[in-house]
Each structure stands twice: as structure tokens, then as C-alpha cells.
Structure 1
Amino acid sequence: MQTTTDLEAMRELLESMQGQIASLVSQNDTLAKQVSDLSEDLRAQAAESDKVIASLKAELAEAKLKEASLVEEIKFWNMRFYGSKSEKVAPGQISQFNEMEAAFDEEHPEPSIEDALPKRKGKPHRRGGKVNIDYDRFKTIVIEHDIPEGERACPECGCVLREMNVEVTKRLKIVPAQIYVEEHRRHVYRCADCCGANARGEERKSVIVRAPQPKPPIPGSFATPSLIFYVINGKYSLGLPLYRMEAEFRSMRAEISRQDMASWVINVHVRWLSKVHSRIKAELLSHDLMHADETTVQVLKEPTRKPTRKPRMWLFCSAKRDTPAYVYEYHETRGKSVAEGFLRGWKGTLTTDGYRPYFNLQEADVTNTACLVHVRRKFAEIVKVAGGDAKAAKSLYPSVALDARRMIDEMFKVDKAFDKLDARERKAKRIEELQPLMRDFYAFCVRSAEVATPRSKLDKALRYAIWSWPYVMNVLDDGRLELDNNIAERGMKVFVIGRKAWLFSDTPRGAEASAAIYSIVTTAKMNGLEPRAYIEWLLTEMPNAGELTDEVVDGFLPWSDKVPQECKLKPEVWEKVREMRDEPILNVDPAVFEDEVEYGPAEDEVLTLELPPERTQE
């Protein structure tokens, strides 16, 4: 029988066990909570790890994209600097430095003098007859090769030789530039009676009469129009710096400094050529079609600009089917304020590259057309970087660029067939045959842009094409328009080639004079004039023309009927000049591309992906 003590002990044991159970339950709850917290932490860490992994994958993909973009950029600039500098390279063309070796051909026959000299006008001779050469245009020096009279004996029998005929061989000789001194002798006459009476104190004037003498282009200067043009031609047509011409004059025994030459050029610009430049500009602004381009020019002594920053030489010129007029203008900036100022109040169609400010001009009623060559160029560069057509065709993205370039080439091919049509027929043919190709190309670019790697060269080329296309298709509205801006780019190339030799202008005044002279020389060439004869005529006649009103100056413009015949090129020569063939020299200074971000759409710009409206026949 249990005693009270045993019951108490059992009760204490039971209570102790209950306490232990409660403690275990509490510990179990604590452990369960800890397990739950640990699970939450693990889940959170797992989620965070997933985020980190995803972020790292995105960063890796971005890094790979950047790497591919940088590799593409390096290949692109290698191509720009070291590859061919033209999209169309003449066979055998290697470089200017190596042009002798490149042009040399052992199979090339020696030309005859008839090939080099001009032919007389008139009916051609029958086949096999003599070529009718115009020898009268060249001074002929006769050099006799004869046997001395005492040696005219037959080597066989000793009899006296009698002349049978004279064999004539003609060769060309060149005489280097020569300096002559013009001595102007102005005769002065007096009336002996009047002068005598005046000397005796009578109220009669002394009468002295001088023979009339034409005014020189620069009063008080010994420089003649021919000497001034020699400087102008050297600098602006041949691209020679003044220091080279200074050395050339020294070789002719004349000490004419570069300061003298610069002073002459600026002087005749201020007095005469600026007026011609101004009237050429007025003629251009009377047209309703225009092309424009611009490039860098270094001007050292410019008060408001650091010498290391480059202002711009702008070019505005007429369309291919209008009277040729080229206006170069120097400005400190490339801002759209320059184009707005030039075109203020003008109404018409402006063809340019993709420089954005052209497409948002104020104070002018401008319809824009974009150059198709610039669209093509971006795809062509991708194909070049890929290694050419064959390699590009085997690669994913370069093959897209190759297809795009070929589609554009087909557009040019189709359009070339309409070159000789009048404007109305050309417009109709373009709407019928060219418009379908244009719409297909636009749709192709929109589809391709959806799969192109963002910010890659292909993506940028496609975005540029999509952005440009509504402006490119504006060419369908007027048969006088061109698909490209080549007429302005070739005109600007004349300046760029010269700039490679003389590098910079010293002052804004010199740059403005250069702009005016380039305008006159290029406009004269494109109107069928020989620049030397034309500018000499200007500098001879303008100082003696009296008050130079606009009407008077218009008589001196390249297309005026008053321009003498001796200033005009022969038709066949003019046609060659009008072609303005591409030169192998191209400016590849990286600074030229410093603001290419201004071309085409902005990087974050949302493009309209709707097809431009379809044109219909009138």
C-alpha cells in the first residue's frame, strides 16, 4: 500500500515530467520557427541568387554585344582608314603616291600627235585620209636637219646628191610659265597756247590731255589680271599652298611673297569678285530646286573660336537640270541657323544628306529629299567590313546588308534609264517602275530591323534607312529631282582636295575670299567657261565698267551673253568637265566624323513604321 510520501514523490515526478514536456514543446516550437525562418531565408537567398544570376547573364550578354560592337567598330575604322576610300574604285587605281606604277601599262601604245592636238571644225576626212589637225592654235618652231653642202656626195659613186623631199616629224614641246614686264606708256599732250597764256598770267587754264588708260584690278599695284589669276588658279584649282607658289615665282627670278599673293586675292575679292559671288547667290535663290552640303575648314585667327575647333564651309548649288550655280559660304558653325539664314523666305525642294537640322528648317517653305547614296553607303560599309560580297552572303547580318545594297543598286539601275526623259515623262516612269522597288525596300528594312542586334551597325543602317525613306520617296513628286546629292558632294570635293594641300585659312576674311573664288571658279567651269580666261576678263573689265549695279554685274555672270567667246570651252571639253569624275582623294580625318550623331534618327527616337503614301499617276 502506497504511502503519502510515495504519492507526493509521484506527483512531483509527474509535474517534473509535465514541465519537461512543456519545455520540449516550447523548444520544438522554437526549432520549428527557426526552421521556418531558415526556409524563408533560403528561399529569399535562392530568389536573390536567381536575380543575381539573371543580372550576370544580362551583363554578360551586354558585354558580348558591346564586344561585338567594338570589334565591328574597329573593323569599320580600319576599313575607313586603310581600305579603299571610294565605293566605286577605278580598275588599277591604287593610290595617289603609287599612281605612276598603277597607271603604267607596257601594252599601252605610244600616242600620236594627232591624238593630243585639237581637230579643225568641218567635215571629217574620208577613212584612211589625214586627220585635220588645228595646228594654227600652236606656235610652230621649225628645226632643219640637213646634210652640209660639202658632204652631199653619193657614197657609192661620188656624184652630187639632189634633194628629193623633206620628211616632217612633229613633236610637242612645253615652255614653262614666263614672266613679262608690261610697260604702259601713257602719252601726255598739252596745248601750247593755253599753257603759255596761263604762264603769262592770263585768265586761261593750262590744258593737259592724257591718253586714256584702262584701270588695273588693284589701284597702285603692279599685279595684272593674268598674274592675279595665276595665283588664284594655283591655290583654288590646283590646290597649291602659297608657300609653294612663292618658291615657284622664285624659280622664275621674281620675289613675290605669300603675303603679296594673299593681299592681291583678298583685294580683288573685296573689290570685284564678292559682287559676282553675291549675284550668283541671287540666281541660285531664284531656283526652286537646290542641293546642299558642308565640310570642315580650319581658321586659325578667329576671335570667337579656339584654333583647334573647326568651323564649316557650306555649299548650296543648283539642281542638275537648272542653270549651274554654286555658292560656297564660310561660317563659324555647323548649326541649322546657317541653312535657315541662307534659305530665309525661299520655297522649294532641298536635297541633302541625313544631317538632321536640314529637315527642321524654320522661316522657309522647304520640302526635303534625302540622298539615296548615303542610305546605300551604310549597308555597303557593312559588306566591306565583312570582307566583300561573297563573305557577306554567308554571314547572317552582313547578308541582310548585302541584300539591302543590291536592292538600292537595282533602284539606281532602273532610274538611270530615265535620265534623258523630260521631267513629266521621268516622273511617270518613276511612279510606274521605281515606286514598287522603293516600297518593297521599305518593307524589307522594317522586317529586318525587328531581328537586328540593337545598336549594331546593321541596326543603325536599317534605322537610318527607315527614317530617311519618306524623304527619299519625295523624288517621285518631281521628275527634275535626283536620287542622290552627288552634285553637291562633287562640288564640295573640289574644296576638300585643295584643303588637303593648304590645310587651313589664316583669318575669316581669307576664308570668305576663298568661298567666293571657289563659287566663281566652279560655276564658271560648270557653265562651259575656261576659268583662266573668264576671271582675267572679269578683272580686266569690271574695274572699267563704272558703277557696278546689280544689272551691270549680271552682265559679268558666267551664263551672260556678254561673256566673250574666247572664255568658252569647246563643247566636247565642256562635257568632260561637267562629268566631274570622282577623285581618289577623300578626307578621312576622324574630326570630319565628330558630329555624325547628328545624322539620321536619334538613338532613342521611335520610328514610324508605316509605309509612305503611294503616289499615283496624274
Structure 2
Amino acid sequence: MKRYSEEQLKDCSKEELIDIVLDVQNRALVYEGKLALNQANQFGSKSEKMKELVPEAQIGLVFNEAEAAYSGETQEPTAEEALSPEPEPEKKRQKKEKGKREKDLSKLPHRIVPHEIPEEELREQLGEGWVRLPDQVYRKVERTVKVEVLEHHIAVYTDKAHKKIVRAPHPAELLDNSIVTPALAADVLNMKYADAMPLNRISEEFRREGLNVCRNALSSWVMRLTERYLSLLYDRLREEMLKQRILQADETYVRVTEDREGGRLGKSVMWVFRSGEYEKEKPVILFNYQRTRESAHPETFLKGWSGILESDAYSGYKKLDRENEGITSAFCWAHARRPYADDLKVMRSRPKEFPEAVIKGSLAYEAEKQIAAIYAMEGREKRESPEVRLKYRRENVKPLVDAYFDWCREHQGEAPTGSKVEEGIRYSLNQESYLRVFLEDGEVPIDNLASERAIKPFAVGRRNWLVIDTKYGAEDSAIVYSIVETAKANGLNPREYLKTLLEEIPKHMDDKDTSFLAGLLPWADKIRLSCSASRR
């Protein structure tokens, strides 16, 4: 911004002074808006729901969830409902199907708790010849945590001459001279990577249960088991993912103690690559740690792959598109919407300055309404086949997209330079060709929110441990997060899946190839049967 001295302002004409004042006002409004947005982001709602599509009464509360969800008419869940593999939504109860109770409880271990009356007391109350009728049965649910030592006794045999010794077959040790078992290791990995618990808290939790394992020992287990066993599956999952035509990508920053810049903690990057949102048969979610955000990293990870990559508008993804003939970039409509949503958030946080009538007459509101209409129309055929979805998009969604870009061109230059609305219009017009890609392929999602959801568990865990000690720890974390999130995407129980992997992979360490991993992929029939999240 040009600075004027008092003498220069005195020499300005009236028109020049008006231009200067208007420019200062516009800049002040922009900076004021940025400050208000920071305050709204810090203290306001973090939701990205479009209020035009979601009635006010349905917008959930977060902080007071317990109070909001409670109703004086709320009924306690029955044992069958609490243990049902598919929890029913909190709506009016429907009549249960016949045999549902037995089906829901059949896979659970049962412990009978008898309640009987001594014979002497029965004779006093009923006299001689009393008869016991069928028991009255009711069910309650109890969750117990039990730590026990598995003492392996390996039978040892010898011949009469004591020249030959034979030992009974027994499982190989996961780690030499370690007490860790597949079940215990799976507990640690599940608590850290699925439940976002740092290792020191896991150690404290174990100590309360009577098991004393220090943080360093847990860390050693995680790194050694990941590098020795789980990395094999990670590599195989990457091979499987690169066979798919539609992928999505995102990234977030992480601080790693070992990777420093000038003695200070630098920002390293955790990338996430995942199957397209509509891939339901073999979904894969993979994390990849790198020191920087350079475009060479996704290019290396996706080497040999061709297809459509959904992402944000980071220039590194555009470079992939430009320099790789087989890769097409598709950009995210949620990112196109956010500048307008941010502007509306600022206005709604200051109702005295921006009454609802002013908000509804703003450019941000008009843009938000048009994008909301695109999402609403797109959502109607979300569950259809790609062919049906593509036809529907061309007939019903494309006209709305065309209208939005016409609106952007019509109002380009009207918003103050540097404002959120100006940013939104500029972003949409600059990325128009990439934002239109979803209209030409029924398998491409409209946005990249699936990737953002996939990376969220890592971001939640990051709040608990803040930094990672070494780049090796970051690489190992990427592997375990990948297996956990892929398991969840395939409807598996992450803990059971990790336990199965640590039971089965060690059996094949002397194999000459890794073909055995095909039977351990999350969509393998055996795995779905034994590790399903609905299996108790």
C-alpha cells in the first residue's frame, strides 16, 4: 500500500483523495474481516454444514450434546439393542423382527449367573415334593478388562538312547525375549492409533490393570512390530490401491523432533492417499510421511499410476497433471465454497452490523446458495451406479454449475480486493476446468471431504502427542494409521485385524515371496468373517 506524506495529500485533487479514502476503507474492511474470521474460527462453530440444506432444528450441538440429546421420555437400551451389530438410529422404535434377539446375542460369550434358593428354605415355603420350573431369564451387559499371563509349556521328548530331542510345535515369538503377544500388541496399537491415546497414558492404563510396562518398552514394541511385520502389508496395500482408477489426496503438517530447521522444529508433512469415495469393494487409505510438501513426494508415491486424482488446488497436484499424461486432476468444491462460508461466518458473528436482510443480499450469500443447490442436486443420485450418476449430472447438475461460473464472471471485480468473496470468485474461475471434471466421470466425487475425514484421526491424535520424536517414528505411525483406517473403511474391527495380522504374518517370515498377504487383505473372505466390526 502506497504511503502519502501530508504535503502529497495536499497536492491531490478531490477525485484522487476520494480514491485514496475508498482504497483505505476497502483495505480496512478486508483486515477487519480477517480479524473477525480468526475470532469466529477460534470461538465459533467449526461446522461446515450448509444451513440452506440443513434445517436449523437439525443442526447438532457439540458442547452440550448430553443435554441436547436427553429427553425425559428417553428409554434405556435393552441388552439386545446395546449389543446389536448395527445400532439403530434414535428414532421411534419399530417392531423387532422375529429371532433378532437370539441372532444379536449368539456371537457373544455368555456367563450364567445362577440365583437359587437353598433346599431347606424351599421345603419351608413349598413343602415336600416341590418342583423346579423353567428359569426366569434376563440379560445384563458387563465389560471386564483382564490381564493374564500365558505360560507356555512346550512338551519335550527324547528317544531311549537320549540322542534325539523333539519339541512340540509352538508359536514363534513376535519379538525375541519379549512378553508381548499378538493380542497385547494389538491392544497397544489400537489404543494409540485408533483411540488417539499417547503411549504414556497407555502405560498408565496398563499399570492400573496390574501390568507394568514403561513408555519406552511400548515404543519399542510399536516400532519393531511395524517395521518387521506390518510394513509388508502396507506395501501390498499400496500395490492394490495403485490398481484403482480414482484416488483422492490430502496432507497435513506434523512436527518431528529430529527434523529441525536451524535448531527449531520444522513443519514436516503427513500425506494421505485413498481410494475414491465411491470405491466400496476394496477401499484403501494410506498415509505417507515426508520431510516437505514438494510435489516430488506424491509423484514418487503414485509412480506408475494413471487415473483421476481428487484433491485441493495445491500447485503440486497441478504439476502431476501437467507432467504425467495419464494423470488428471479434479479439484474440490468444498474448497471453492469455503471463502464464501468464511465471509458469512464473519457477518453472522456480528448481527448488529449485519442483520439477516443484509446477509441475504450479499455476494457471499448468493454464491453459497448456488453451491448449496449444486450439492443438493448432486446428493440425490449419490447412491446410484456411476453410469446413472453421470447421466444425471449432465442433465441436472451441469446447468447449475454453468450458472454458478456465469455468476462468477458477472460479479468478478465487484468485491474488495483481498476479501473472502474476491478470493472465492478468483479461486473458482482459476480452477474452473478442474472443478468441472466430476461432471465427466460418474466415479469422481464432487469434493475431497473423504480425504479430509481420513486424515482427521491423525489430526486428533496429533493434539495429544504434539510432536513425533524421529522420522522413523513418523514413518511407522504412517504405516499403522494406514492399516487402522483401511480396516475401518472395510468395516473391520481394527484391534481384531491387527491381532490377526500379528498372528499370521510371523508364520510366513521364511517364505520366499509375499503371496500369503492376499489372504490377509481387509476384503479377503476369511478376514471379513473373523474381523468384522459387527462380530462380537
Q: TM-score, normalised by structure 2?
A: 0.86
Q: 1:262 aligns with which of 219, 222, 232?
A: 219
Please give the alpha-carbon distance, in whole angstroms, between the structure 1 residues aligned to 2:85 and 2:504: 31
Q: Please tell me whether residue 454 in structure 1 is matched to residue 417 in structure 2.
A: yes
Please give the alpha-carbon distance, in whole angstroms, between the structure 2 residues aligned to 1:174 and 1:164: 31
Contact 1:117 1:133 in 2 (8 A): no
Q: CA deviation at 1:167?
A: 4.1
Q: CA deviation at 1:245?
A: 0.8
Pairing 1:515-534 to 2, within 5 Å after superposition: 515-534=478-497
> Counterpart amino acid of 2:480?
I
**For 2:46, what is the secondary structure of its paired residue?**
coil
**For 1:424, what is the secondary structure of its paired residue?**
helix
Q: 2:147 aligns with which of 167, 176, 179?
A: 179
Q: 1:454 to 1:161 in 2, by over 3 A?
A: farther
Contact 2:268 2:290 in 1 (8 A): yes
Deviation readout 1:168-201 (Å, 9 max, x if unpaired): 33222221x22111111112222233x4xxxxxx
Extract unaligned runs of 5+ from structure 1: 1-45, 196-205, 574-618
Q: CA deviation at 1:213?
A: 1.7
Extract unaligned runs of 5+ from structure 2: 1-6, 87-93
Please give the alpha-carbon distance, in whole angstroms, between the structure 1 residues aligned to 2:481 and 2:157: 45
Q: 2:72 aligns with which of 106, 131, 137?
A: 106
Pairing 1:428-467 to 2, within 5 Å after superposition: 428-467=391-430
Q: 1:325 matched to which residue of 2?
A: 284
**For 1:51, what is the secondary structure of its paired residue?**
coil
> Counterpart amino acid of 1:364?
N
Please give the alpha-carbon distance, in whole angstroms, between the structure 1 residues aligned to 2:528 and 2:250: 32
Q: 1:398 to 1:286 in 2, by over 3 A?
A: farther
Q: 1:207 matched to which residue of 2?
A: 164
Q: CA deviation at 1:393?
A: 5.4
Please give the alpha-carbon distance, in whole angstroms, between the structure 2 residues aligned to 1:500 and 1:514: 15
Please give the alpha-carbon distance, in whole angstroms, between the structure 1 residues aligned to 2:447 and 2:528: 34
Please give the alpha-carbon distance, in whole angstroms, between the structure 2 residues aligned to 1:395 and 1:449: 20
Q: 2:390 matched to which residue of 1?
A: 427
Q: CA deviation at 1:443?
A: 0.5
Calculate percent identity across the aligned residue pairs: 31
> Counterpart amino acid of 2:160?
A
CA RMSD, 1 decimal? 3.1
Q: Please tell me whether residue 377 in structure 1 is matched to residue 346 in structure 2.
A: no
Contact 2:458 2:481 in 1 (8 A): yes
Q: 1:303 to 1:237 in 2, by over 3 A?
A: same
Contact 2:248 2:309 in 1 (8 A): yes
Q: Please tell me whether residue 353 in structure 1 is matched to residue 312 in structure 2.
A: yes
**For 2:137, what is the secondary structure of its paired residue?**
coil
Q: TM-score, normalised by structure 1?
A: 0.75
Q: CA deviation at 1:86?
A: 1.1
Q: 1:343 matched to which residue of 2?
A: 302
Contact 1:232 1:265 in 2 (8 A): yes
> Counterpart amino acid of 1:441?
Y
Contact 2:174 2:506 in 1 (8 A): yes
Q: 1:302 aligns with which of 251, 259, 263?
A: 259
Structure with max Cα Rg: 1
More off after superposition, 542-551 vs 460-469: 542-551
**For 2:141, what is the secondary structure of its paired residue?**
coil
Please give the alpha-carbon distance, in whole angstroms, between the structure 1 residues aligned to 2:349 and 2:318: 33
Pairing 1:93-172 to 2, within 5 Å after superposition: 93-95=60-62, 98-118=64-84, 132-134=101-103, 135-136=105-106, 137-144=108-115, 146=117, 149-150=120-121, 167-172=136-141
Deviation readout 1:439-489 (Å, 9 max, x if unpaired): 110010111123112211111111112122221111111111110112111
Highest RCO, 1 vs 2 (Cα 8 Å, sep ≥ 6): 2
Q: Please tell me whether residue 364 in structure 1 is matched to residue 327 in structure 2.
A: no
Please give the alpha-carbon distance, in whole angstroms, between the structure 1 residues aligned to 2:512 and 2:425: 53
Q: CA deviation at 1:344?
A: 3.0
Contact 1:397 1:452 in 2 (8 A): no
> Counterpart amino acid of 2:194?
S
Q: Please tell me whether residue 60 in structure 1 is matched to residue 21 in structure 2.
A: yes
Deviation readout 1:271-304 (Å, 9 max, x if unpaired): 0111111111111112221100001112112266
Q: Please tell me whether residue 289 in structure 1 is matched to residue 246 in structure 2.
A: yes
Pairing 1:23-38 to 2, within 5 Å after superposition: none
Please give the alpha-carbon distance, in whole angstroms, between the structure 1 residues aligned to 2:438 and 2:157: 69
Q: CA deviation at 1:398?
A: 6.3
Q: 2:364 aligns with which of 401, 408, 413?
A: 401
> Counterpart amino acid of 1:422?
S
Q: 1:490 matched to which residue of 2?
A: 453
Please give the alpha-carbon distance, in whole angstroms, between the structure 1 residues aligned to 2:27 and 2:261: 39
Q: 1:535 matched to which residue of 2?
A: 498
